[in-house]
Structure 1
């Protein structure tokens, strides 16, 4: 091919590269906003099965949306009103017990026990090195604490933004779907809409299933920890619920934290042992009884794909990535099964 005007070709190529860089830079700059939008859309899809259930019972969609939002926000406000004072009280008691633990010298018994168990380790030297590092890094630690505080405030405002966007997306979800479908050529629109509806339906059921698992773990943890006399059962139950929302490793991570807190602050280590046995049994029941019954109706993803998707999602987008990784993987498998494979069979 003969190039008629090298300057024009170079200018167009430069403008194309510049436009690509501008788009990538804009995406990076808007990553936080895009994360909020993704989380809100994810939650809106999670509310859609409940709204659809009411709509099928001849409840007008606007009334169904209003009922669902009022009930959920009311339950959330009631939960916060009931739990936050208890959490604040138990967190204060937790800090007091840790302070008392240090002041009374109880930690000395643990220190001597560690020295006896690991005689090859010079704990005095290690502690001195840690203290020296803390002294030299006081400025960095202070800056880190400040950044954590700023992160908590940003997280609060981010949660408010996500709630507002969730309400908007929930109300306008049918219009968003319809507009998206109109962008597809008419000859392929019906097929595209069918696959998109299957994907959004599976995402919604997955969100509801994950919340159901979290509630199950939180409620059972609160009841069991109260029965065995574990310290701060309400606070630990909230931890169990929040960690259970993260697939794959959430329940395990939350269980380890709860057992460690129980071991350090319970009068007897038997309480921690009982809690550990309970969570080992519960994780088996969740993995082989609760999760298959609840989640298989929403998504059908092989176990290896679940592990890879959760790890990849967590590495790319943190907790949000881990949350949406499994439905995204299920959506990709659905597209491969219903679009790619039939097309390959036609060749």
Structure 2
């Protein structure tokens, strides 16, 4: 009987391990879908304060949701048909300008510096092989391993951009669905909790969702401010690529802590490269002033009611989410960190203090 019992325990344990492996594999295969769903939920929570604002001003819930949906779809269509063509056109001009600048002699200066600093490397040969491979795809196999990795990385980046655009469309559709059915989803989730603990759970869950929604809305507002002000400033200094620079500033500023400084440095260097120091100097001065204005005025005013996540937590969360699940993972990880921080503050720490 002991042998039989040991066999049954071992068999059940083995089946449990196999089931866990199967579940982990299934979750890995649908990880992108889960990321899209979480991103859509966070965005829906970010839009929900607008819906609640309308309902407090005598809008029925269905009319408030419909108004927000129409506004979002209208903004999306306007961006696609009015702004995206200009962004694409100016981005093409940006690439051509960078290439022309390198061809005008900057590449030769960099090549001379590289040959002087690293005389043992055949830089000119590597460049010639790269140009030959770009002109004739059959020569790709003859590229040095380092250049082959570079080309592979570029191709992967293009594929990742296309996948990100498709993922953004999926997130938009899911966000509209979650926004319309948010009360029903909340009610269904609350009913899964035992009745004795339901009031506490509802209170904490509502605080988390409200804080995460305000966090998302606040980051979008900061990005929008940076994009609009960047467009105005670059138009004043006479930059022909103000739209694409403003778009870069908007996208980067939606990433907390590091987004604004990354966009500022990138835009300043591009303006220096294409328009010269006489234009780049006021741009760099503007961004140096704006970063201080955002850090000490805009961000505290916009984010004063959201969960304040420490900077080191933001960086670690973004790096972890980006490593595991890509760009969307980096964006989703920050609200998740805010929610975890709120749970620790409202549940874990009071329980530990009561012991």
The question of a shared fold, defined as TM-score above 0.5 by the shorter chain, is answered with yes
For 2:193, what is the secondary structure of its paired residue?
Answer: coil
**How far apart are the structure 1 equivalents of 2:114 and 2:158?**
38
**How far apart are the structure 2 equivalents of 1:304 and 1:144?**
29
1:287 shift after superposition: 1.2
For 1:254, what is the secondary structure of its paired residue?
Answer: helix
- 2:201 matched to 1:192? yes
**How far apart are the structure 2 equivalents of 1:116 and 1:149?**
30
Which residue of 2 is the match for residue 165 of structure 1? 174
**How far apart are the structure 1 equivalents of 2:322 and 2:336?**
13
User: What does the per-residue CA deviation read over 1:117-149, in whole Å, with 9 as the maximum and x for residues that have no partner?
Assistant: 995444983343454477533876666555445
Which residue of 2 is the match for residue 154 of structure 1? 163
Mapped contact 1:54–1:64 kept (Cα < 8 A)? yes
What does residue range 166-315 of structure 1 map to in structure 2 within 5 Å? 166-266=175-275, 268-315=276-323
For 1:75, what is the secondary structure of its paired residue?
Answer: helix
283 and 8 in structure 1: CA distance in 2 versus 1, 3 angstrom threshold? same
User: What does the per-residue CA deviation read over 1:33-57, in whole Å, with 9 as the maximum and x for residues that have no partner?
Assistant: 1111111111111111001111112
1:217 shift after superposition: 0.3
1:169 shift after superposition: 0.7
Gaps of 5+ in 1: none
Which residue of 1 is the match for residue 123 of structure 2? 126
Mapped contact 1:40–1:163 kept (Cα < 8 A)? yes
Mapped contact 1:246–1:319 kept (Cα < 8 A)? no
Mapped contact 1:115–1:121 kept (Cα < 8 A)? no
Question: How many pairs were matched up?
Answer: 343
- 2:82 matched to 1:73? no
- In the superposition, the TM-score normalised over structure 2's length comes to 0.87
Which residue of 2 is the match for residue 12 of structure 1? 12
**How far apart are the structure 2 equivalents of 1:238 and 1:316?**
26
Structure number with higher relative contact order (C-alpha < 8 Å, ≥ 6 residues apart): 2
| Larger deviation, residues 19-28 vs 230-239 | 230-239
CA RMSD in angstroms, aligned pairs only: 2.7
Mapped contact 1:244–1:251 kept (Cα < 8 A)? yes
**How far apart are the structure 2 equivalents of 1:310 and 1:97?**
32
215 and 344 in structure 1: CA distance in 2 versus 1, 3 angstrom threshold? same
Gaps of 5+ in 2: 134-141
**How far apart are the structure 2 equivalents of 1:206 and 1:262?**
32
- 2:114 matched to 1:106? no
**How far apart are the structure 2 equivalents of 1:304 and 1:101?**
38
**How far apart are the structure 2 equivalents of 1:329 and 1:32?**
19
122 and 201 in structure 1: CA distance in 2 versus 1, 3 angstrom threshold? same
Which residue of 2 is the match for residue 318 of structure 1? 326
Mapped contact 1:231–1:265 kept (Cα < 8 A)? no
| Larger deviation, residues 113-122 vs 192-201 | 113-122
